[in-house]
Amino acid sequence: MKQLFRTYGLVIRFILTFLIVYVVLIFGYKFYLQMSTGEVYYPDYITKLVADQSAILLNDFGYNATVFPHPNEASIKLFLNDKYVARVIEGCNAVSVIILFLSFIIAFSGKLKTTIIFGLVGGVLIYVVNLFRIAILAIGFYHFPEYEKVLHGVVFPAIIYGMVFLLWIVWVNRFSKVSEHAKKV
């Protein structure tokens, strides 16, 4: 058993660290969601912020974008040129993707300062790309509603998760302790 831990200690440490960080962040986020119920911002502050900023971006693209709270569910209705095109729900705000990203880089941590900076920069980059994802998705729904399932279910998740994967690759190869160890060998 001791030999097993010596052989696979780094893998076990990565998995345990990842799971602990992920669970702590997810529970923290779920607590935030529970505490934000019935607040001024509906459905929650971050989702409302994402919907509002996506509308601003769409307006900058030359569309007349407006958002309104959905009367029957916890979501924000997004309109382009007075046409309802999409709803922005809690799952659209990229927080869960950022939590996944942060859990990975912490599990493959590097120097503390580098880990914090990369985590912040990566989180902001994911957030911004998500805003563009929602805006472009809304434009796609507006002009090509027949492709809604393929755009929402395949193309745009591939973009956001593909970007997270590329950030992970950069992290592991350039900044993590695994990268530092590989340079010494």
The dihedrals phi and psi of 75, each to the nearest 5 degrees, come to -160, 170
CA–CA distance from 182 to each of 16, 143, 172, 178 (Å)? 22, 49, 10, 6
Does any domain span residue 109? yes
pLDDT at residue number 134: 95
Asked whether residue 182 carries a pLDDT value surpassing 70, the answer given is no
Q: How many domains does the chain have?
A: 1
**pTM for the full predicted model:** 0.89
Cα(7)–Cα(11) distance, rounded to whole angstroms?
A: 9
Does any domain span residue 83? no
Q: Are 138 and 44 in contact (CB under 8 A)?
A: no
pLDDT in tens, 129-166: 999 999 999 999 999 999 999 989 998 888 899 999 99
pLDDT at residue number 34: 85
Full residue range of the structural domain in which residue 131 is found? 2-41+93-180
The stretches of the chain forming alpha helices (DSSP H) are 2-35, 45-60, 95-107, 112-143, 148-150, 156-170, 177-184
Strand partners, 87: 77
Does any domain span residue 54? no
Residues near 16 by beta carbon (within 8 Å), at least 6 away in sequence: none
pLDDT at residue number 40: 58
pLDDT at residue number 185: 46
Does any domain span residue 48? no
Does any domain span residue 68? no
Does any domain span residue 86? no
pLDDT in tens, 58-116: 999 999 999 999 888 889 999 999 999 999 999 999 999 999 999 999 998 889 999 99
